């Protein structure tokens, strides 16, 4: 019975026991003080004040003496031990009652007796006597409530605020019973004593009861609400942490495992690293880096917390893999059919880069679409594409054609330019959406393009013309290529956040 766990309720309160160690009379006050984390002097004073009410305090003390179990003699040591371990603030744990404390207790009692005598001399004792019956009933009802709250506090925390409104069935009956007892006691008393003096004393009794209940429960309720808030914040934080951990596991750790397995193939490693970087970037900052503005201030802490780590990772790979594999050999050898949608990366359209796994619903806009196709081409051809988009607009069939043509231009650059980097710049300005796809590669003579280069003629030029746009190719051998695509955008189609 001396194990420390016995001495505490499940929620960490010191159990209500009567310690031998530190008692003056029966240890009731010391035990109650430890249980309620109050100074023992206050508890003793409360008993004395209650005793003034025609001996209610004495009755309470006697009842507690009877019903509260006495602590085994070796218990207090264990209690003191747990007290220091858990460090319950203000827990007045039983300790040996010194002569000073004994004197204080006796002093309080003497003061009570003095006040009682004075009250009797002044003739107010009568009214105090009338208080004892309702007070006893109220005390029993209050005890029910108190006990109920103590037992279910943990449960309420778990169920948050809903627990307050809808406690369990048994708990509900106990609360109803407690309240019924309180009201019933008062009602019986009021019906029994209808004369004016008694009614007045009943009024005083009710007032005192209410004040007493308030004094006891208000700080406790305040603490409960405070704890509830803290607990909820902690739970949200834990959930966010778990989400980040789960995401990192699903993405980065898996990719790192793949990279280790493919470490003999620099091209594949670069592709994996680049793809993972893009995905993580999209997760942290949103598509194309612009959605970060839409983030609420609340979740700004999440990315910040992982930023350093991310940087270590992406920095290591970004710096560790120079653009060495400049022999950008093409993946699909059937260059004559560039419109086949079977790029090795296209099966990844359900990749988190396209659909931010944050679950944030994002409208499909030009910036997002461009970032998405850039990623697909990057994945398929192991090159680096950094799309920069100024302004934005929601997707329309015209813009979809623009994006498809831009993708074709990127694929052409990846396959034919022989460089590792392609610049993509998109803008929505004064009713026109334009995309510039530029490489510093080998370049070609646009007038000498063979008719079988359907990619340029059909997929880019033809597509843009069908949608009322233009495609312009600027290239010459040795100085790279820039393809300029533009389509009109309806003025009212410019998205609201772009006009912000």
Partner 1 sequence: MSPCRVFLVDDHALFRAGVKAELANLGDERIEVVGEAGSVNEAIVRIGADPPDVVLLDVHMPDGGGRAVLDQLHPSLPGVVFLALSVSDAAEDVINVIRGGARGYVTKTISGRELADAIVRVAGGDAVFSPRLAGFVLDAFSDKPSAASVSDPELDLLSPREREVLRLLARGYTYKEIAAELFISVKTVETHASSVLRKTQMSNRHALSRWATERRLV
β-strand pairing of 470-475 with 432-439 = unpaired
Helix 125-159 with 169-192: angle, nearest 10 deg: 170
CB 96 within 8 A of CB 76: no
Q: Choose between 92 and 373: whose C-beta lies nearer to partner 1.
A: 373
Q: Of the ranges 82-90, 287-295, 401-409, 442-450, which one interacts with partner 1 (CB under 8 A)?
A: 287-295
Which residues sit opposite 425 in a β-bridge? 388, 436
311: contact with partner 1 by CB under 8 A: yes
Task: Check binding of 297 to partner 1 (CB under 8 A).
Answer: yes
Return the residue of 203, 316, 336, 342 that touches partner 1, per CB under 8 A: 316
Distance in Å from the first CA to the final CA of the chain: 69
- Phi, psi (rounded to 5 degrees) for 297: -65, -25
Backbone angles phi, psi at 263, to 5 degrees: -65, -15
Of 66 and 499, which CB lies nearer to partner 1 in the complex structure?
499
Nearer Cβ to partner 1 (82/270): 270
Please tell me whether residue 431 binds partner 1 under the rule CB under 8 A. Answer: no
7 vs 5: CA distance, rounded Å = 5
State yes or no: residue 312 binds partner 1 (CB under 8 A): yes
**CB of 372: closest distance to partner 1 in angstroms?**
16
Site for partner 1 contains 267 (CB under 8 A): no
Cα–Cα nearest to 139, from 59, 36, 27, 37? 59
Of the residues 74, 231, 293, 458, which one makes contact with partner 1 according to CB under 8 A? 293
Q: Which of the ranges 83-91, 94-102, 283-291, 443-451 carries the binding residues for partner 1, by CB under 8 A?
A: 283-291
CA separation for the pair 320, 316 (Å, rounded): 6
Give the range of 65-73, 129-137, 290-298, 459-467 binding partner 1 by CB under 8 A. 290-298
For residue 290, state whether it binds partner 1 (rule: CB under 8 A).
Answer: yes
> Can residue 285 be called a binding residue for partner 1 (CB under 8 A)?
yes
Contact with partner 1 (CB under 8 A): which of 189, 381, 436, 444? Answer: 436
C-beta of 281 vs 453, nearer to partner 1: 281
Q: Which is nearer to partner 1, 445 or 500 (CB)?
A: 500
> Of 423, 420, 438, whose CA–CA distance to 322 is shortest?
420
Least Cβ distance, residue 207 to partner 1 (angstroms):
51
**474 SS3 class:** strand
299 binds partner 1 (CB under 8 A): no
Q: Provide, rounded to whole angstroms, the least separation between the CB of residue 438 and partner 1.
A: 5
- Part of the chain binding partner 1 (CB under 8 A), chosen from 52-60, 240-248, 304-312, 374-382: 304-312
Integer Rg of the chain from CA: 39
Q: How far apart are CA 179 and CA 148, in angstroms?
A: 12
The residue count for binding partner 1 (CB under 8 A) is 38
Is 154 or 281 the residue whose CB approaches partner 1 more closely? 281
| Cα–chain center distance at 22 | 45
Comparing C-alpha atoms, which of 230, 56, 184 is closest to residue 129? 56
Q: Which residues 352-411 are close enough to bind partner 1 by CB under 8 A?
A: 384, 386, 388-391
Strand 384-390: give its sheet, edge to edge.
384-390, 421-429, 432-439, 481-488, 470-475
CA angle at 398 for the pair 396 and 399, rounded to the nearest 5°: 65
Residue 219 buriedness (CB in 10 A; 0-12 / 13-18 / 19+): exposed
Task: Check binding of 294 to partner 1 (CB under 8 A).
Answer: no
- Of the candidates 193, 425, 442, 457, which one interacts with partner 1 according to CB under 8 A? 425
Residue among 426 and 469 whose Cβ is closer to partner 1: 426
> Which backbone phi and psi does 88 adopt, to 5 degrees?
-60, 120
CA angle, 180 then 185 then 191, to 5°: 120
Segment near partner 1 (CB under 8 A); pick from 308-316, 375-383, 449-457, 464-472: 308-316
Tell me the window of 157-165, 174-182, 291-299, 403-411 that interacts with partner 1 (CB under 8 A): 291-299
Strand 384-390 with 421-429, pairing: parallel
- Pairwise CA distance, residues 77 & 228, whole Å: 32
Asked if 347 and 353 count as a contact pair (C-beta separation under 8 A), the reply is: no
* 319 is an interface residue for partner 1 by CB under 8 A: yes
Contact status: 298 vs partner 1 (CB under 8 A): no
Q: Is residue 11 part of the contact set for partner 1 (CB under 8 A)?
A: no
Q: Do residues 139 and 216 make contact, with C-beta atoms less than 8 angstroms apart?
A: no
Q: Which part of the chain contacts partner 1 (CB under 8 A), choosing from 206-214, 402-410, 422-430, 464-472?
A: 422-430
The answer to whether residue 323 forms part of the interface with partner 1 (CB under 8 A) is yes
Kindly write out the interface string for residues 465-484 of this chain, putting x where it contacts partner 1 by CB under 8 A and - elsewhere.
-----------------x--
Binding site for partner 1 (CB under 8 A): 281, 284-285, 289-290, 292-293, 297, 300, 307-308, 310-312, 314-316, 318-320, 322-323, 384, 386, 388-391, 423, 425, 427, 429, 436, 438, 482, 498-500
């Amino acid at each position: 019975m001396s194990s420390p766990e016995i001495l505490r309720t499940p929620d960490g309160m010191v159990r209500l026991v009567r310690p031998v160690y530190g008692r003056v009379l029966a240890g009731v006050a010391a035990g109650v003080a430890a249980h309620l984390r109050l100074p023992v002097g206050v508890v003793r004073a409360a008993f004395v004040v209650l005793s003034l009410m025609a001996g209610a305090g004495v009755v309470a003390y006697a009842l507690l003496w009877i019903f509260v179990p006495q602590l085994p003699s070796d218990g207090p040591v264990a209690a003191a031990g747990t007290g220091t371990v858990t460090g319950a603030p203000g827990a007045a744990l039983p300790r040996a009652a010194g002569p000073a404390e004994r004197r204080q207790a006796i002093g309080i009692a003497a003061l009570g007796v003095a006040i009682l005598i004075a009250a009797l001399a002044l003739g107010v004792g009568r009214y105090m006597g009338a208080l004892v019956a309702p007070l006893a009933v109220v005390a029993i009802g209050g005890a029910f409530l108190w006990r109920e709250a103590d037992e279910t506090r943990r449960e309420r925390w778990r169920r948050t605020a809903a627990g307050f409104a809808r406690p369990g069935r048994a708990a509900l009956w106990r609360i109803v019973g407690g309240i019924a007892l309180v009201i019933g006691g008062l009602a019986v008393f009021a019906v029994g004593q209808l004369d004016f003096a008694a009614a007045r004393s009943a009024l005083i009794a009710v007032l005192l009861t209410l004040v007493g209940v308030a004094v006891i429960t208000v700080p406790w309720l305040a603490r409960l609400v405070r704890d509830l808030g803290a607990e909820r914040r902690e739970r949200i934080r834990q959930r966010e942490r778990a989400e980040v951990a789960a995401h990192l596991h699903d993405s980065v750790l898996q990719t790192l495992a793949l990279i280790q397995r493919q470490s003999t193939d620099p091209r594949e490693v670069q592709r994996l690293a680049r793809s993972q970087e893009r995905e993580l970037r999209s997760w942290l900052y949103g598509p194309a880096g612009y959605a970060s503005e839409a983030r609420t201030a609340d979740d700004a802490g999440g990315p910040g917390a992982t930023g350093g780590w991310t940087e270590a990772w992406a920095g290591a790979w970004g710096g560790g893999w120079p653009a060495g594999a400049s022999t950008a050999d093409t993946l699909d050898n059937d260059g004559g059919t560039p419109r086949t949608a079977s790029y090795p990366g296209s099966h990844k359209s359900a990749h988190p880069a396209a659909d931010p796994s944050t679950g944030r619903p994002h409208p499909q806009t030009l910036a997002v679409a461009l970032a998405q196709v850039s990623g697909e081409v990057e994945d398929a051809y192991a090159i680096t594409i950094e799309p920069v988009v100024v302004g934005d607009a929601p997707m329309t069939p015209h813009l979809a054609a623009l994006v498809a043509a831009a993708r074709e231009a990127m694929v052409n650059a990846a396959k034919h330019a022989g460089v590792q980097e392609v610049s993509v710049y998109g803008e929505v300005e004064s009713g026109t959406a334009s995309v510039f796809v530029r490489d510093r590669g080998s370049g070609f003579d646009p007038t000498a393009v063979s008719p079988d280069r359907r990619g340029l003629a059909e997929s880019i030029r033809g597509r843009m013309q069908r949608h009322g746009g233009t495609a312009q190719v600027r290239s010459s051998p040795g100085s790279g290529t820039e393809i300029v695509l533009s389509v009109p955008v309806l003025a009212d189609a410019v998205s609201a956040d772009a006009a912000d």
